[in-house]
Amino acid sequence: MAYSKKPLVGIIMGSSSDSRIMQGAAEILDEYKIKHEDQIVSAHRTPARLAEYAKHAEKMGFKIIIAGAGGAAHLPGMIASHTTIPVIGVPILVYNDKHPKKSDTKFSAFGGLDSLLSITEMPSGSPVVAVGINKAGNAGIYAMKMLANEFPDLKNKLQQHKSNQHDSVVKESDQLKKQGLSKFTKNKFK
C-alpha cells in the first residue's frame, strides 16, 4: 500500500554526479512504498529554478525535502530559505569522474567536510538538519520517522526495521563466535 497518491517527499541534488549517492534515499523510500519525486536543482547553476522548485514543492504538498549536494553545498540551505517545508541535507563527498584524466581532481580536497559544514553551519533562525557524509539512506529513514507521526502504520514498519537490524547483528556475532575472528574476516571480505 502506498501512503498517498501524490509524492510526500521531494528528493533534489545539485548534480547528476550525486545520483549514485542519493539513490540510497530513494531505495529506502521505495522499500516502504513512500512516493517521492526526484530532480536535479542547483542553487549555483540554476538559481531561478531553485526558487521555482520551492514553489513547486509547496504546491505538491511535499512533507519533507531531502537535498544532497557536494563541495560548496548551498542547495539545502537555499531551498530551506525559500520554503517552510523541513529540509534534510545530505553532504556529498564529491566524486567527479567527468574528467577521468585528472585523477587528482576526482575527490573533494576536503573529504566531504566542506559539504557537511556548508549544510550545517546555517545562520540562526534558518535551520537545516543533516545526515552524515554520503549517508543518503539515513535521510530516507529520517524522513520515514517524520512521516510516521502522520501515518501510524509507518511506526510499525520502523519498529520492524529496527528489529531486522538487531537480528542481523546477532546473526553475524554468532558466526564470528563460531568461526573465530581470522576466518570470519577472511570469509566476509574475500
d(CA 38, CA 133): 20
- Quote the least distance from Cβ 68 to ligand C2R, whole Å: 7
Q: Please tell me whether 18 is known to bind a ligand.
A: yes
Binding residues among 75-104 for ligand C2R as defined by CB under 6 A: 75, 92, 94, 96, 98
d(CA 54, CA 34): 20
Q: Which of 15, 88, 112, 144 binds ligand C2R (CB under 6 A)?
A: 15
Q: Please tell me whether 15 is known to bind a ligand.
A: yes
Q: In which element (H, E) is residue 161 found?
A: helix 152-179
d(CA 32, CA 48): 33
Q: Please tell me whether 45 is known to bind a ligand.
A: yes
- Which residues partner with 90 through β-bridges? 68
Is residue 7 within 8 A of residue 62, CB to CB? The reply is: yes
Q: Which of 36, 63, 74, 135 binds ligand C2R (CB under 6 A)?
A: 74
Residues tagged in the binding site annotation for substrate: 15, 18, 45
- Going by the annotation, the residues of the binding site are 15, 18, 45
Binding site for ligand C2R (CB under 6 A): 13-15, 17-18, 42-45, 69-75, 92, 94, 96, 98
